[in-house]
């Protein structure tokens, strides 16, 4: 009988999940219970053996209070993004990549209503 080979699918996401859990001093059992998952399922996420559902990614990002795009972008190989013409200038940013003033700017932007955001976007495009 040949043993089934397991492959690591999502190493970058796995490392993010593990580090966030450890920052909170939680066990895999505790975080799995909080998220409504089995410990085995959450363990597979941290090992990169299983991809979390979108619902799980949103629950995880909500619990850790991080932007869900940080987790979603961890699933997309940079090589694949750079090959797609529509994503030529695309870059996923986490809060670690941004200065405190840039983070504050984004937080303030997110407080604006849609018309205000449109006005800011138009103003920015005049400078580019």
pLDDT of residue 92: 54
Question: Which of 6, 10, 87 is closest to 56 using CA atoms?
Answer: 10
pLDDT of residue 42: 96
Q: How far is CA 123 from the centre of its chain?
A: 29
Q: What is the pLDDT of residues 16-40, one digit of tens each?
A: 999 999 999 999 999 999 999 999 9
pLDDT band at residue 4 under the 50/70/90 scheme: very low
pTM of the model: 0.57
pLDDT of residue 86: 53
What's the angle, vertex CA 56, arms to CA 52 and CA 58, rounded to 5? 120
pLDDT of residue 6: 46
Q: What is the pLDDT of residues 47-106, one digit of tens each?
A: 999 999 889 999 999 998 888 888 887 877 655 544 555 555 555 555 556 677 877 787
pLDDT of residue 121: 85
């Amino acid at each position: 009988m040949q043993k089934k080979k397991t492959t690591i699918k999502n190493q970058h996401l796995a490392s993010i999940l593990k580090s966030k859990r450890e920052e909170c001093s939680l066990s895999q059992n505790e975080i799995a219970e909080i998220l409504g998952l089995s410990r085995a399922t959450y363990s597979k996420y941290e090992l990169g053996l299983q991809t979390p559902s979108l619902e799980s990614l949103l629950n995880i990002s909500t619990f850790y209070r991080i932007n869900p795009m940080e987790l979603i972008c961890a699933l997309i190989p940079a090589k694949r993004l750079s090959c797609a013409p529509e994503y030529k200038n695309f870059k996923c940013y986490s809060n670690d990549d941004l200065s405190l003033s840039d983070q504050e700017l984004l937080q303030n932007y997110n407080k604006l209503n849609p018309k205000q955001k449109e006005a800011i976007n138009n103003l920015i495009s005049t400078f580019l």
